Amino acid sequence: MASMDGITPTSTIQSDYDQDLTNGAVDLSKTPSSSSSFSGSNNLDSAISSSSPRSSTPASATDSYQDSQAIASNSDTPNHIQNRIDNAEESSLNSNASLLTVAVAPQPDVIDEKSTRTGYVYDVRMRFHSNVHGDQDHPEDPRRIWKIFDALKKNSCISRMIKVPSREATDEELGYVHTTEHINSISSTPDMPLEDLLELANSYNSIYLNNTSAFCARLSCGSLLELCNAVATGQVLNGVAIVRPPGHHAEPDEAGGFCLYNNVAVAARYLQRQHGLKKIFIMDWDVHHGNGTQKAFIDDPDVVYCSIHRFDDGSFYPGDPVAAAHTAVGEGAGRGRNINIPWPCSGMGDSEYIYAFHKVVMPIVYEFAPDFILVSAGFDAAKGDHIGENLVTPSAYGHMTHMLKSLAGGKIVLALEGGYNLESIAVSGLACTKALLSDPIDALEPIIPNEVCVQTIHEVMEVQSRYWKSLTPMYIDPMDEGVSLSNVVELAKVLGVYRTEFLYQRHKMLKLPLSNPTYQTDFLDSVHTTGEFCARTLGASNILRPDKSVLVDSVAQYVDRIVASNNELIDIVIPFQPATEDEKTTLKEKSTELLTDIWDNYAVITGDQRRIVLLAVGFGCHCMVSFMNERQKDVTRLVSCAVLVPGEDEVLPMVTKRLSNWYMENSFVVVSDDHPAWERTNQKLNSRSGNLVRSGKPLEKLSEQLLNLNNTLFNQIDDKLKSLPPFPEDQHESKPIETFMDVLSSISEPRTSEPSTGVANSAGVHSRDVAMPPRQQQLSTPSSYQNFQESLARISSLHSSLSQSSPGIGSNNGPLAPSATRYSSSSPISPPSPLVDRVSLTTGNASQRSQPYPSLSSRSQQQQQPGANSPSLSIHQYDQYSGSPHQRELQDYSPRNQSQQVYSQRQSTQK
């Protein structure tokens, strides 16, 4: 239906239009002039004419039809519409006749027998708006509307519908939403040379223009107004507007996103001003946020705008991280009238959209009780659309339409917005139209929304419950009640104190001081739970019931077993499960930097006869593998094995090709029996993903998997350690060697009593029988910093003694040699920061989102005997849980790897 260069020939458009009049639509010319089933006059054309102004029409229908034929006769040779118009002008046709207007079918005296039928508006002339500036494969293809109309015609829908005549919108109607300057700017394009058109188009965001674009934009908007008029006056029950160019990105003062005028926004104002309808509900399910529509009604209490769109932390078009977020609720009198449901990633399908409708959209629509419903029906979230990359099926679109049409007395109009896969847009539009016609809707698959969707909806309800009583439980913010900040204690702080006390009392573990002050401040305490915090709240609010809320720590058993086996432990907690690719990248980079710092400053220099085991869980697996890729030589020399439990993550982390052989032989990656990894046949991919082992069960929650795998994991570790050669007997013939725990614990003062505050305010290493001084004294004064420097000197001395007492240790050729040669900075180490004021880790990942940094603790025996078991470096990530807010905004962070300074300090001390 299109020429090879992407421009639809006028002859083809005329042919399509002729078919529309004769074969597709209701043959209005054969409708009887009167009918016994009607009382009074129901002339659709006269009703529309009397209720709204029309733009000027050609002198005669015959002239305009001849004009179209003249254009068509020249359509085989020119490539662009402008050339066809120029050729038509050379034919000396009537200059007063519009070159863009084709014959209009005669209008009937009355409508066919019932006003309970669905109306539609479609005009082939809207296809004249096309791209003439180079890229002929533009996604906003003129064939989009024809594909939908053709699908309706072939499936016997058009024959059961009422065709509403199209028309152009007037300046007055466009002025309901748009500024005079914007209207004049678009209206000036018919006479512009192509060069000026290109310059004007480039001044907007994602717009193309030709000399017919202004006409098509007016026709698109005016046709929607005509259909809304027919529905509002009861001449048709509901309707679908097959129009283009789309409109929801057009703001009051500028075009954008393929949109020139905001069709739906103008229609909402038209219904309010011309028909006296007060409350309008606008549902926008286009995959892009309708920034123009939102801006038009940002402070209007009588128009509710609800958008379900892909957000990606504000990086997805139109790319506004504030206006498109779930926290954008409107302004002034319109607060609460703007509802954004922003998906943080692609891949959302039927389950997610239907879930959003049932949890948010429909309760709000019922409570708002609108007089009219407008739908910005973009189909770029449909399965197969390469721009939206979502998975919504025609069935889901049909069900959403069916749910909406049950309200507002059935007064609902769907207006086409986006959708760029011609096949997807056709079947999706067909499904919506069938729903308007009350045809049976195809059944959906079982609705099981993913966790990202559930969390997103939870956040939306948390914000919107302040404005809509139907959204329960209602979120109560103490800040809204005027509570003083001094009287507010975060649950994260309460649980952080518990964890500090618990780890000390149970295992004598203290916090580990870090060389980088940024780490000391940002990697805050965390409740060590890869399990779940099961929160129970009151039914009408989100107030927590502490007597019914419990913490299930599935990792505690691992800590217990590691300590009971006389091992040393450095425990690092990843605070949340990232939702978007940007979050994953940011968190992985920060965690990798922290892991590398700990490795360089503690694990390597104290790894004399110790054999290190790496244990990672959840997203921590990605961080651990990234760290191993950074320290490949050290890892292959010092690490006995790496155990990874990725859980529900479908994408397994992969090491570099250089490390793949070692990783395959020394890793233990536990995945569920139905994990997608088992479907892969690429052996190279499998080797880089490690030694995959079936968990013996289908996909389950990470916490459940950890509880079930306890014995299995440790048996694998024990088997691996037993296979290693024994340590030489002569490595401990000298006096007992001071461990790094002995050195670091000396920073603290001896415990004189057992006050809980001594543990809660501690900072540094978790060590047996040692208590930390109060926070004001801990690593915050010059004397404390002096002690820290002296401790580092003792660590260096320890490392030096190990080098002298054991062959190869401390040398570049030995099996445990640190990688000191890669650091050359001579700058002094920065003083550690005092203990942070906020103990942050809460009971799970959701409320910890605003703290994207791991917290860590360490535990060591005072003496490590020859042949003792391996220490382990473990990294964990929180699982999902209910009852806490979820914030994805990451704090600003400037990575600074100061391990160079640490090594320089040690080298200086040794010298």
Residue range 620-649, pLDDT digits in tens: 888 899 999 998 888 888 888 888 888 766
- Residue 62: inside a domain: no
Question: Looking at the DSSP assignment, which residues form a beta bridge with residue 872?
Answer: 569, 613
| pLDDT given at position 861 | 40
At 331-384, the pLDDT tens digits run 999 999 999 999 999 999 999 999 999 999 999 999 999 999 999 999 999 999
Res. 496 pLDDT band, cuts 50 70 90: low
- Residue 82: inside a domain: no
Q: How many helices, marked H, and strands, marked E, lie in the chain?
A: 29, 18
How many folded domains does the chain comprise? 2
- Residue 48: inside a domain: yes
- Residue 534: inside a domain: yes
Mean pLDDT of the chain, nearest integer: 70
The predicted model gives 266-292 an average pLDDT of 97
Backbone angles phi, psi at 740, to 5 degrees: -65, -25
Q: Is there a single domain that holds both residue 815 and residue 861?
A: yes
CA dist., res. 776 & res. 835, Å (int)? 8
Q: Is there a single domain that holds both residue 831 and residue 687?
A: yes
CA dist., res. 713 & res. 642, Å (int)? 11
- Locate 641 and state its tokens: 């094995």
Q: Is there a single domain that holds both residue 513 and residue 460?
A: no
Contacts of residue 202, defined as CB under 8 A and 6 or more positions apart, other chains included, come to none
Residue 6 has pLDDT above 60, yes or no: no
Res. 780 pLDDT band, cuts 50 70 90: very low
Q: Is there a single domain that holds both residue 828 and residue 891?
A: yes
At 709-766, the pLDDT tens digits run 777 778 878 777 777 766 555 444 444 434 434 434 443 433 333 322 222 222 233 3
For residue 103, count other CB atoms closer than 10 A to its CB: 18
| pLDDT given at position 439 | 96
Q: Is there a single domain that holds both residue 553 and residue 601?
A: yes
Res. 441 pLDDT band, cuts 50 70 90: very high
Q: Is there a single domain that holds both residue 860 and residue 801?
A: yes
Give Cα 486 distance to the centre of its chain.
Answer: 34
CA dist., res. 518 & res. 892, Å (int)? 12
Please tell me what DSSP assigns to residue 251.
B
Q: Is there a single domain that holds both residue 212 and residue 361?
A: yes
Lowest mean pLDDT among 129-133, 289-293, 436-440, 456-460: 129-133
| pLDDT given at position 8 | 39
Q: Is there a single domain that holds both residue 508 and residue 389?
A: no
Highest mean pLDDT: which range of 26-35, 269-278, 551-560, 593-602: 269-278
Where residue 44 falls (left for φ over 0; alpha for ψ -120 to 50; beta otherwise) is: alpha
3-state secondary structure labels for all residues of 370-433: CCEEEEEECCCCECCCCCCCCEECHHHHHHHHHHHHCCHHHCEEEEECCCCCHHHHHHHHHHHH
Burial label for 569, CB within 10 Å (0-12, 13-18, 19+), is buried
| pLDDT given at position 827 | 29
Backbone angles phi, psi at 853, to 5 degrees: -120, 140
Report the CATH number at residue 48: 3.40.800.20
> What is the rounded (10 degree) CA torsion for 810, 814, 817, 822?
110
- Residue 423: inside a domain: yes
Percent helix, strand and coil across the chain, each rounded to 5? 40, 10, 45
The predicted model gives 162-174 an average pLDDT of 96
Q: Is there a single domain that holds both residue 246 and residue 337?
A: yes
Domain region containing 42: 10-57+101-464
CA dist., res. 710 & res. 716, Å (int)? 10
Last residue in a domain, options 464, 499, 530: 464
| Whether this model's pTM surpasses 0.75 | no
Closest CA to 372 of 264, 292, 289: 264
> 298 vs 597, which has greater pLDDT?
298
CA dist., res. 685 & res. 162, Å (int)? 58
Residue 234 has pLDDT above 80, yes or no: yes
Burial label for 812, CB within 10 Å (0-12, 13-18, 19+), is exposed
- Residue 66: inside a domain: no
Across the beta sheet with 872-877, what order do the strands follow? 510-511, 855-859, 569-574, 872-877, 612-617, 639-645, 667-671, 692-694
Closest CA to 562 of 528, 592, 531: 528
Provide the residue type at 269 as one letter: R
Q: Is there a single domain that holds both residue 162 and residue 35?
A: yes
- Residue 482: inside a domain: no
Res. 212 pLDDT band, cuts 50 70 90: very high
Q: Is there a single domain that holds both residue 546 and residue 443?
A: no
Q: Is there a single domain that holds both residue 355 and residue 496?
A: no
- Residue 15: inside a domain: yes
Check if 249 is active-site. Answer: yes
Catalytic residue, chosen from 248, 249, 288, 675, is 249
> 112 vs 470, which has greater pLDDT?
470
Residue 127 has pLDDT above 90, yes or no: yes
> 651 vs 242, which has greater pLDDT?
242
The predicted model gives 30-57 an average pLDDT of 34
Res. 102 pLDDT band, cuts 50 70 90: very low
CA of 245: how far to CAs of 251, 285, 607, in Å?
14, 17, 67
At 78-96, the pLDDT tens digits run 334 444 434 433 333 333 3
Residue 62 has pLDDT above 60, yes or no: no
E strand or H helix that includes residue 890: none
Last residue in a domain, options 428, 445, 464: 464
